[in-house]
Amino acid sequence: MGNGAKLPVPLTVLSSSEADAALHALQDASPGSLTVYVVPESSSLLPQGTNVYVGKHRSALVRAGQGLAALRARLQQLTRVMSFTASSIAAALADRVPDGQLGPDARRHLKSSLGYEITFSLLNPDPKSHDVDWDIEGAVNRYVQPVLDKLSVVANFSVDSQILYYAVLGVTPRFDKESSSFLLSAHSLPHVINPVEARLGSSAASLYPVLNFLLYVPERSHSPLYIQDKDGAPVPTNAFHSPRWGGIMVWGPGSASLPLHVDVDMVRVMEVFLAQLRLLFGISREELPPEFQVESPGNEGLADWELDRLLWAHTVENIATVATTLTSLAQLLDQISNIVIKDDVASEVYRAVASVQDAMAELAEGRLRSAFQASKEAVTSSERAFFDPSLLHLLYFPDDQKPLEIPLPGPCIFFIPACL
Partner 1 sequence: MAAGPLLLLLLLLLGAAGPGAAAAAAAGPGPGLGPGAALREELLLRPLPAGDVAAAFQFRTRWDADLRRGAVSHYRLFPKALGQLVAAQGVRELHLALTQGFWRTRSWGQPPLGAPAGAELWVWFQDTVPDVDKAWKELSNILSGIFCASLNFIDSTNTVTPTASFKPLGLANGTDHRLLRYAVLPREVVCTENLTPWKKLLPCGSKAGLAVLLKAERLFHSSYHSQAVHIRPICRDASCLAVSWELRQTLTVVFDSFTSGQGKKDWSLFKMFSRTLTDACPLASESKVYVDISPKNEEKEFLEVTPTPTSVHEAVVQGDKRTYAVYDLLSPSLFNSSRSLNVQLKWKRPQDSQELSTPVLHAQRYVSGYGLQTGEISTLVHNTHPYRAFPVVLLETVPWYLRLYVHTLTVITKGKENKPSYIHYQPAQDRKRPHLLEMLIQLPANSVTKITIQFERALLKWTEYTPDPNHGFYVSPSVLSALVPSVVAMKDVDVEESPLFASLFPSSDGSSYFVRLYTEPLLVNLPTPDFSMPYNVICLTCTVVAVCYGSFYNLLTRTFHVEEPSRGGLAKRLANIIQNLERVCNLQSLPVMRRAGVKNEGH
Which residues in this chain contact partner 1 in the complex, by CB under 8 A? 119, 127-128, 131-133, 136-137, 140, 158-163, 165-166, 199, 201-206, 261, 400, 404, 408-409, 411-412, 415-416, 418-419
Helix (H, G, I), strand (E, B) or coil at 115: strand
CB of 162 to partner 1, least distance (A): 4
Closest contact distance (angstroms) between CB of 154 and partner 1 is 19
Distance CA 247, CA 365 (A): 38
Give the shortest CB-398-to-partner 1 separation in angstroms. Answer: 10
CB of residue 293 vs partner 1: minimum separation in angstroms? 37
- As a dihedral over the C-alpha atoms of residue 25, residue 30, residue 31, residue 36, rounded to 10 degrees, the angle is -60
Closer residue to partner 1, CB minimum distance, 233 or 413: 413
In angstroms, give the least distance from the CB of 121 to partner 1.
9
Q: Which is nearer to partner 1, 119 or 318 (CB)?
A: 119
Q: Which residue type sits at 79?
A: T
Shortest distance, position 260 Cβ to partner 1, whole Å: 9
- Provide the residue type at 98 as one letter: P
* Cβ nearer to partner 1, comparing 364 with 404: 404
CA distance 364 to 362: 5
Residue among 338, 341, 357 at smallest CA distance from 401: 338
- Of 158 and 370, the one with the shorter C-beta distance to partner 1 is 158
Minimum Å gap between C-beta 301 and partner 1 is 18
H helix count then E strand count, the chain: 11, 14
Instruction: Answer whether 106's CB lies under 8 Å from 88's CB.
Output: no
State the minimum distance, in angstroms, from the CB of residue 209 to partner 1.
15
Q: What share of the chain is helix, strand, coil (3-state, %, to 5)?
A: 45, 15, 40
Burial class (CB in 10 A: 0-12, 13-18, 19+), 177: exposed
Q: Which alpha helices (DSSP H) does 159-303 contain, by range?
A: 190-200, 266-281
Ramachandran sector of residue 326 (left: φ over 0; alpha: ψ -120 to 50; beta: rest): alpha
Distances (CA, A) of 225 to 162, 167, 219, 271, 274: 22, 16, 9, 19, 22
Task: Please identify, using beta-carbon distances, which residue of 219 and 362 lies nearer to partner 1.
Answer: 219
Distance of CA 138 to the CA centre of its chain: 24
Nearer to partner 1, 89 or 163 (CB): 163
CB 218 → partner 1: shortest distance, Å?
17
CB of 199 to partner 1, least distance (A): 7
248, containing H or E segment: strand 246-250
Coil, strand or helix at 141: helix
Cα angle 283, 289, 293 (rounded to 5 degrees) comes to: 70
**Between 6 and 261, whose beta carbon lies closer to partner 1?**
261
Nearer to partner 1, 132 or 184 (CB): 132
C-alpha span between 200 and 245 (Å, rounded): 12
Cβ-based nearer residue to partner 1, 53 or 120: 120
- Are 195 and 170 in contact by the 8 Å Cβ rule? The answer is yes
Would you say 87 or 172 has its CB closer to partner 1? 172
